[in-house]
Amino acid sequence: MFRQFLIFALLLFVTTSTFSQTPQIETGVPQTLAKWRGVNYSDVRYKLNLTLEKMAPVLKGTIEISLKNNADQIVLDWRKIRGKEDLSRIENVSINGKPVVLSSDFSRLNAENKPTEVGTQNFYEINEHLVFKDGVKAGENVIKLDFTSPILTSGAAITRYVDKEDGAEYVYSLFVPSDASTSFPVFDQPDLKARFQLTLTVPAEWNATTNTQESGVVSETHQHYISNNKEIVSKTFHNQILKDRELVARTLQFYETKPISTYVFAFAAGNFEVFRECLYINKVIGSEVMKCLEIPKTFQENRSTSKIYVRKSQAEKFKQHAAETFRLNREAVKYLESYFDYKFPFPKYDLVLIPEFPFG
């Protein structure tokens, strides 16, 4: 009996020691790092505030990463696209409310004792990872940073398509299989699921979609021109509409997702015409139309609110096919639910119709 207890205690010690020590930081996400993070990190949440500007070469954003931590280091994935490294930047980094500075002095990182709270706190960039030790604590941790990352016409997780017919611009993400980390720092492994909450600023005439429904317009940016026609003054007004100024941008907020893998998170924005399923299920009139067009006041799990996003240049052609497309989409979901004996797990199912999508 004592021998069995001794063997159990030894195995427990070895297992605990294995998962308490940070694995060697290698390029990519090796199994050792993935398992270690899966054991030590939980309740991960990403708050993303993204800005898309017309024909801009980069995505600009701020991310707040919160998690429960059981290790002495936090290791994020942050990869730069080859040949476009100069477009991927991070700055204004903080952990638990205190600023940290990028350092190449790895001696402090590898030291057993943490540095004192007095003086500069550092983080490190190693083999496509951001490594935090200074300021890390057991339990709840929050990392905040600003970033930019490339928007390309091909070969990037954030892709731009310019319509050949009317010159309209469309931007969309594709993080499959593990490319979210080329756009912003994340834990880019599918088993470490997280909740995403997106706030997205886009040009005024653009529409946008993501994994959850829009919860509202946070702010609108207007411009007015000075009399010499050269100086432009911009100002953001929260929850106001000023009719005497030109609306140039809108900031949209979306509900937080359920826990999902990084490759499942997605967004698209551009000069889309939006077709709403609720207008095609039955003939709706009067107040029912207005209700269909309203932004939901609460998080809804109702697939009848699904939408199809179509390029402006193709919207007129699509109208005659909209009802049948929605019907086929509903039937396809029902079939798959029956086949797999598993309910569709997401709050909505939007379709984005856009050329040059790599997997379709």
- What are residue 122's DSSP bridge partners? 101
Structure-block tokens of residue 12: 């427990």
Q: In the chain, what are the domain boundaries?
A: 27-213+255-270, 271-360
**Contacts for 332-335 with beta carbons within 8 Å, 24 or more apart?**
333/303
* pLDDT tops 70 at residue 51: yes
Mean pLDDT of 282-291: 61
Lowest model confidence (mean pLDDT) among 7-16, 211-220, 251-260, 282-291: 7-16
Lowest model confidence (mean pLDDT) among 111-115, 152-156, 173-177: 111-115
* pLDDT tops 50 at residue 18: no
Residue 195: what pLDDT? 99
- HSE, CB side, 13 Å, CA atoms: give it for residue 79: 16
Query: Residue 182, SS3?
Result: helix
Please give the model's pTM, rounded to 2 decimal places: 0.85
Structure-block tokens of residue 289: 């139309």
Structure-block tokens of residue 60: 């600009």
Task: Give the contacts of 263 (CB within 8 A, at least 6 positions apart).
Answer: 175, 176, 177, 178, 179, 180, 190
Q: What CATH number was assigned to the domain covering residues 27-213+255-270?
A: 2.60.40.1730
| Count of other CB atoms within 10 angstroms of residue 170 | 22
| pLDDT mean across residues, the chain | 85
* pLDDT tops 70 at residue 345: yes
Mean pLDDT of 112-140: 84
Q: Is the peptide bond before 177 cis (omega within 30 degrees of 0)?
A: yes
